[in-house]
Chain A
Amino acid sequence: MKILDRPVALELRNVTKTFGKVVANQNVNLTVYKGEILAVLGENGSGKTTLMNMISGIYFPDGGHIVIDSKPAVIASPKDAFKYGIGMVHQHFKLVDVFNATENIILGMENEKKYRPKEAEAKIRAICEKYGFKIDLSKKIYQMSVSEKQTVEIVKVLYRGAELLILDEPTAVLTPQETERLFAVLRKMRDDGKSIIIITHKMHEVLSLSDRIAVLRKGEHVGTVETANATEASLTELMVGKKVELNIERTDPHDCTDRLTVEHINLTGADGVKVLSDISFTARSGEILGIAGIAGSGQRELLELIAGLLKPDSGRILYKDPKKGGEVDLRNKTPMQIRDMGVRLSFVPEDRLGMGLVGNMDLTDNMMLRSYSRGKSAFLDRKKPKDLAEEIVESLEVVTPGVSTPVRRLSGGNVQKVLVGREISLSPTVLMAAYPVRGLDINSSYTIYNLLNRQKEHGVAVIFVGEDLDVLIELCDRIMVINAGRITGIVEGRNAVKEELGVMMTMSKPNGSFEESRRAESEENRNE
């Protein structure tokens, strides 16, 4: 049966939502059929999540209707959404850590007058069997890996009788293998007649999983295509509104010398959990060293440690000065001391507005963050930072009303350009970037890749922590895989195979998954 002949599950008619002057969704018309997987594709800020939040009752539309069973539906809360059989699995899981899977699944169910875990468990087991979920129902959430938690979320939604499931970027936290398993389950659910809406911006996943693809651009629904007729290029064009070149030009590294050598670093977190175990590697000038790993495997801590924000239990961080040739140990030095030693170390942290920049300050004041203390005067010199801000706005095409606009008002891509621009302006010898393209649209992402490549060509030792394995393989000269705080391998970027990296990221480890999930959890909390 063709999809368009199937019964309609839900219809959006002229749905509009605005936040202040920002139009998040404008007159969106969209139909979801029963028994299909609809992918919603769009760049960041194109209104995908807002639209889904309106369907699941988190926001209320300013205009237009949501139609279910050919009657206008009023979805004013997630509870209403459940009444209509709509359930959403959010990017950040909403689970109670100290409860087990069953308890989380039945939590908050109104009809359950009495707490009967046995009956509920039987019902949950039936759901799991039907769709092929593998889950230990008595396991506590804090002991679970990210993928297991996601399973609990999905089962929870099904248990509540959802006929339409919305998944917001479900694969962002999964390895390639886990992603495949999830997709198999989703396909089974589709064949069972359920409707699934999946938000993602990983193009190849969209193409392999969905039946139809709805593309949003700047809050408007610019078209829905059958997946069979779509290609990566055609979708990108639809998303961006013009043809884009999606090539990363990787030049061969030359004149590589060791710049930063990390030796036997160990780090224990505040809760006594081992975060990094015996980490040793070398970053060389003129090459990009990629770091791959599941979120929360210790990547963030590793970079913060090198930048002087954390102190390791043991080990050395040796920096070779390109001019003087000497070697200095950066361990236990503060960022200020590292700078005073003449080490030009730039760091683009993962948390842009919480760490790299100050959201409420304007571009000029954010430029000063790194340089304000220069000179003996007790007063600030705002002239040079202002010039620098103007230069970055000009050269990186930052879209902003002016250099005296608070950076929090800029879009994600522009915020990142400001941050990367500032860090590069310090003419670094080592440039570390943690997830520099997270949340960026395609154009901005490629701008950032090119900036990193240009730094590499200038002889900078670039360390790049990424999450998209395809990009890591395309961009990096070497890829180091980190797994629960240990290095499980360093491979040549040109020979790397995605599946192999995936295996190295998840190989069973002596400490078990308990630790890893706890760390992933705290990572999540920090991001919220």
Chain B
Amino acid sequence: MNKQKTKAVREPLFHVVKKSDIPFWQAWLIRISAVIVALLLCALLIMLLIHANPLKVYRSMFDGAFGTVRRRWNLAQALVMLLCVSLAVTPAFKMRFWNIGAEGQVLVGGLATAAMMFYFGGKIPTPALFLVMTLASISASVLWAIIPALFKAKWDTNETLFTLMMNYVAMQLVTYFINTWVTSGSGTLSPMSEYGFPQVGPHKYFLNILVVAILTAAVYVYLRFSKHGYEISVVGESEKTAKYIGINVKKVIVRTMALSGVLCGIAGLLLVGGTNHTVNTSTVGGRGFTAIMVSWLAKFNPLYMILTSFLIVFLQAGAQQVSTDFRVNNSISDIVTSIILFFIIGCEFFINYKIIFNRRAKEDKK
């Protein structure tokens, strides 16, 4: 307890304290300011790196997303496809089942759809074809989803690794079938557009939008108001509580993953049967992973997920336009996108915590 020892210890400059809940509007104010700060920072970077007017860059981003009728439809299509996969991963995530295999689950659904189109297209009546496409897609995805769930329930295997590995199996399967089907050696399956779903409503993407809109409402109601949804929440919050009240945890895990599978199957069906009419290893295009972010950002609420998937597809579409308009490669748009996402996710810290600067430390400086 002597002087020297006392001097050696310096008071920390600040410390972090958890905030109690803050009003809704304040949280949104923080989020909006985060976006503004991100945009300002990006503007600075754009000026420094590509010497362009940042306002023009943002203008071009906006154009890329909304500039023409076609772009608006494309944006809507991108949005609903991402949303659909996000809906699929959400029930499992709410249950704290870390399924990062949506990519593969959607892909096998798409592969099954393509297989039905390939083998039965033109050989059976169209309504029957659509039916077998739907059934095949859903069963394939459900199979892909419940295998890790069964292993988890039975032997408590790690679902994260398991579902991740299943992605690669799915991709290899796609490669294998394409090589079997395509004898020309081109390695690509040309679109079988004549067997795809017909146009419904004003645009070819309208059917997809309609289906996903219905699914969004359904998943929201299921999670919020159904007994199954309640069981998912209880299992996710505390497995011990679930057992205490007699919920069969294994059953809930398998059932919920089967539901995820159904939704992935529909996503695969819409991607192949309703959009591309063919399949390849990048049909899902990373949506299985982006969906995780969409779901988390929206705190597993399907209605907020509309907003978060919009944000992501908007940034993607905008960034693409920027690289064409300014003749730069994709990196700059990737940078802009990541900065904006970083700020949006990072601002949650300021919603949950506050930083207290120590008065005495400040006084010392004076």
User: Of the candidates A74, A307, A339, A356, which one forms a contact with B10 in the assembled complex, judged by CB atoms under 8 Å apart?
Assistant: A74
Q: Is A309 touching B11 in the complex (CB atoms < 8 A)?
A: no
* Segment at the B interface, from A65-73, A151-159, A484-492: A65-73
B-side contacts of A372, CB under 8 Å: 227, 230
Contact A370 B18 (CB under 8 A): no
The answer to whether B243 touches A309 (Cβ under 8 A) is yes
CA distance A96 to B234 in the complex (A): 34
In the assembly, what is the distance between CA of A370 and CA of B15, in Å? 42
Contact among B227, B230, B238, B240 with A365 in the assembled complex (CB-CB below 8 Å): B230
Interface pair B6/A71, CB less than 8 Å apart: yes
Judge whether B125 is part of the interface by a CB distance below 8 angstroms: no
Asked if A18 and B11 sit within 8 Å, CB to CB, the answer is no
A315 at the interface (CB under 8 A from B): no
Q: Is A170 an interface residue (CB 8 A)?
A: no
Asked whether, in the complex, the Cβ of A62 is within 8 Å of the Cβ of B356, the reply is yes
Are A349's CB and B244's CB within 8 A?
Answer: yes
8 Å CB contacts to B: which residues of A10-63? 18-22, 60, 62-63
**Contact of A378 with B by CB under 8 A:** yes
Contact of A85 among B1, B6, B243 (CB under 8 A): B1
As a 0/1 sequence over residues 180 to 206 of chain A, the CB contacts with chain B under 8 angstroms (1 = contact) are 000000000000000000000000000
Secondary structure dominating the interface of A: loop
At the interface, yes or no: B49 with Cβ under 8 Å from chain A?
no
Query: Could you tell me how many residues of chain B have their Cβ less than 8 Å away from some Cβ of chain A?
Result: 35
Residues of chain B lying within 8 A (CB to CB) of residue A378 = 226-228
- B228 and A354 within 8 A (CB): no
Tell which of B15, B227, B241 touches A355, judged by Cβ atoms closer than 8 Å: B241
A residues near B18, Cβ cutoff 8 Å: 19-20
Which B-chain residue is minimally distant from A375 (CB atoms)? B227
Closest to A368 in B: B230
Question: Which residues between 1 and 54 of chain B lie within 8 Å of chain A, taking CB atoms?
Answer: 1, 3, 5-6, 8-12, 15, 17-20
Per the bound structure, the CA–CA distance linking A335 and B240 in Å amounts to 12
Task: Give complex CA distance A349, B245 in Å.
Answer: 11
Chain A residues lying within 8 Å of B247, measured Cβ to Cβ, are: 336
- 8 Å CB contacts to A: which residues of B204-248? 225-230, 233-234, 237-238, 240-241, 243-248
For chain A, the bracket of interface size reads: 35 or more
CA distance A73 to B360 in the complex (A): 12
Q: Which of B6, B11, B246 contacts A336 (CB 8 A)?
A: B246
Instruction: Say whether, besides A20-B17, A369-B234, A74 and B226 are in contact (CB < 8 Å).
Output: no
Contacts of B226 in A (CB 8 A): 378-380
Rounded to whole Å, the gap between the CB of A222 and the closest CB of chain B is: 25
Residues from chain B with a CB closer than 8 A to the CB of A334 are 246, 248
User: For A351, what are the chain B residues with a Cβ–Cβ distance below 8 Å?
Assistant: 240
Residues of B within 8 A of A349 (CB): 244
Contact A360 B234 (CB under 8 A): no
Of A60, A69, A339, A355, which one neighbours B246 at CB under 8 angstroms? A339
CB distance from B12 to the nearest CB of A (A): 6
Is B1 touching A355 in the complex (CB atoms < 8 A)? no
- By the criterion CB–CB under 8 Å, are B227 and A83 in contact? no
What would 29 A/B residue contacts be, using CB atoms closer than 8 Å? Answer: A18-B17, A19-B17, A19-B18, A20-B19, A20-B20, A63-B359, A71-B3, A74-B6, A76-B9, A76-B12, A84-B5, A308-B246, A334-B246, A335-B243, A336-B247, A338-B246, A349-B244, A354-B241, A355-B240, A355-B241, A356-B241, A356-B244, A358-B234, A365-B230, A378-B226, A379-B225, A379-B227, A380-B225, A380-B229
- Residues of chain A touching chain B, judged by Cβ–Cβ distance below 8 Å, are 18-22, 60, 62-63, 68-69, 71, 73-76, 80, 83-85, 307-309, 334-339, 347, 349, 351, 354-361, 365, 368-370, 372-373, 377-380
